């Protein structure tokens, strides 16, 4: 089977030496010619995985309601950006926009609607999804291209796709885990020479046995820094939803998903989704350092608090039993403790400086 990205990664390793897990992840996900997000159609039942906005419109409706109340609490600032980063198919933005038009047309019409997407292919798909909304939407590649004004931002399953670094405990101490070649020229994990900043490691790293793995994510920290810095300067709120943990500890969470099943991380570069769990404590600490107000909840708790059951009840009221059954399944999928409800977390970081009385 031809494996152009695998061949190229192997050639790079032969020429330049083993690569970090972070570089391997970046190549697999965003390589311009063979990357997973640049060339594939990952989402939905026919794809490799289903995200919360693809499960049900209720997800986007409730996230939009929370974002709208943040805008109101901050004194309804305009101009402002209403942005989504890493929007996948564009489903979440479509659902949020529809909801905001009903909840608060002043926000829906007054805010600049901006999609931040690294993949041209997915940006094209997002344009198609949003065409029915007849809204003026702009596309950008980086957060840094956004105008200097309050930012109301949503990102679902973005941070898990940003590269992580891994370190493995060896008899000599922690060493960076790298992707190397074995005697047959196949990709394999190995211990490299790099060492982590040990002050950043979780408490249980101290007594970890040889072979233990620990993860750090400078690319995620850098993005969170940029979001928090902007919101601290210009005002706004970010709602960041992802799977991950609130208490950091040692462990290997790097995983490949293909056709709704786990696959080998090194087996099919560019053909499977590669992700790792998000360290929410690290992201929250960055936001706090910038003076932002921070809320962290499990997804199930957040959605139920925002009225998931009432919304499902209202959507089901006009329909038949089949519809009600489907809504009940969707509720379970989004909020059930052994489904997305506990593993997924919702981190909300917002500007406390602009918080004022609700003028509406
Ligand atoms: N939010 C969507 C898709 C999640 S998949 C959903 O919930 O269905 C991750 C998304 O982030 C994809 O759209 C991918 O192309 C995008 N992405 C990955 N890295 C990115 C980066 N550095 N900047 C912007 N978008 C990125």
Q: How far apart are the first and last CA of the chain?
A: 61
Whole-angstrom CA distances from 271 to 25, 41, 117, 154, 310 are: 12, 10, 19, 27, 40
Residue 255 CA, ligand 1 centroid: distance in Å: 16
Alpha helices in the chain (DSSP H): 4-16, 21-30, 36-39, 52-55, 57-73, 91-103, 105-110, 120-131, 218-234, 280-289, 299-305, 308-317, 321-335, 340-343
Dist CA 290 CA 277 (whole Å): 24
Site to probe by mutation for ligand 1, drawn from 161, 240, 257, 273 as the one with most ligand atoms within 8 Å of Cβ, is 161
Whole-model pTM?
Answer: 0.95
The encoded tokens of residue 28 equal 């697999």
Q: Is the dihedral of CA 230, 236, 242, 248 positive or negative?
A: positive
Which residues are CB-neighbours of 252 under 8 A, at least 6 positions away? 166, 213, 215
Contact indicator for 142, 173 with CB cutoff of 8 Å: no
Residue 7 CA, ligand 1 centroid: distance in Å: 25
Condensed to tens digits (0 to 9), the pLDDT of residues 56-108 reads 999 999 999 999 999 999 999 999 999 999 999 999 999 999 999 999 999 99
Q: Whose CA is nearest to atom 3 of ligand 1?
A: 88
Does ligand 1 come within 6 angstroms of the Cβ of 86?
yes
Helix axes 218-234, 280-289, angle to 10 degrees: 30
The encoded tokens of residue 157 equal 């399953």
For residue 1, what pLDDT band results from cuts at 50, 70 and 90? low
Q: Hunting for tokens 């101009």 — which residue is that?
A: 79
- Ligand 1 atom nearest the C-alpha of 37 is 15
Residue 360: its pLDDT value, please?
Answer: 44
Exposed/middle/buried for 235, CB within 10 Å: 0-12, 13-18, 19+? buried
Percent of the chain whose predicted confidence (pLDDT) is above 70: 98
SS3 24: helix
The encoded tokens of residue 275 equal 């992700």
Residue 355: its pLDDT value, please?
Answer: 46
Does ligand 1 come within 6 angstroms of the Cβ of 156?
yes
Condensed to tens digits (0 to 9), the pLDDT of residues 201-247 reads 999 999 999 999 999 999 999 999 999 999 999 999 999 999 999 99
Please compute, for residue 13, the number of CA atoms within 13 A of its CA located in the half-sphere on the CB side: 25
DSSP 208: P
The encoded tokens of residue 49 equal 């995985």
Condensed to tens digits (0 to 9), the pLDDT of residues 245-282 reads 999 999 999 999 998 899 999 999 999 999 999 999 99
Dist CA 27 CA 223 (whole Å): 18
The secondary element (H helix, E strand) that includes residue 81 is strand 81-85
């Amino acid at each position: 089977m031809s494996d152009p990205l695998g061949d190229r990664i192997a050639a790079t390793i032969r020429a330049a030496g083993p690569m970090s897990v972070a570089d391997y992840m970046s190549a697999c996900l965003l390589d311009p010619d063979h990357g997973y997000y640049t060339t594939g159609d990952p989402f939905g039942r026919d794809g490799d995985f289903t995200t919360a906005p693809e499960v049900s419109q209720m997800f986007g409706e409730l996230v939009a309601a929370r974002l709208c109340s943040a805008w109101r609490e901050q004194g309804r600032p305009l101009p402002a950006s209403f942005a989504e980063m890493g929007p996948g198919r564009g489903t979440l933005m479509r659902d949020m926009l529809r909801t905001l038009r009903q909840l608060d047309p002043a926000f829906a019409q007054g805010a600049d609607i901006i999609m931040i997407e690294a993949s041209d292919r997915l940006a094209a798909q997002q344009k198609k999804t949003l065409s029915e909304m007849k809204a003026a939407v702009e596309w950008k590649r980086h957060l840094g291209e956004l105008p200097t004004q309050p930012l109301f931002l949503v990102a679902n399953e973005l941070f898990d796709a940003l590269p992580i670094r891994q370190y493995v405990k060896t008899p000599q101490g922690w060493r960076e885990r790298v992707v190397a070649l074995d005697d047959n020229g196949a990709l394999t994990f190995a211990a490299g020479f790099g060492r982590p900043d040990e002050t950043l490691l979780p408490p249980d790293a101290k007594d970890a046995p040889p072979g233990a793995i620990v993860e750090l994510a400078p690319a995620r920290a850098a993005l969170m820094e940029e979001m928090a810095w902007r919101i601290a300067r210009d005002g706004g709120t970010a709602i960041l939803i992802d799977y991950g943990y609130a208490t950091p500890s040692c462990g290997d969470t790097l995983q490949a998903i293909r056709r709704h099943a786990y696959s080998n991380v090194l087996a099919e570069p560019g053909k499977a989704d590669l992700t790792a769990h998000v360290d929410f404590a690290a992201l929250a600490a960055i936001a706090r350092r910038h003076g932002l107000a921070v809320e962290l909840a499990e997804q199930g708790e957040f959605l139920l608090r925002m009225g998931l059951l009432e919304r499902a009840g209202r959507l089901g009221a006009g329909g038949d039993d089949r519809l009600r059954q489907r809504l009940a399944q969707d509720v379970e999928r989004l909020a059930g403790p052994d489904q997305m409800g506990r593993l997924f977390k919702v981190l909300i970081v917002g500007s406390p400086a602009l918080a004022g009385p609700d003028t509406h």
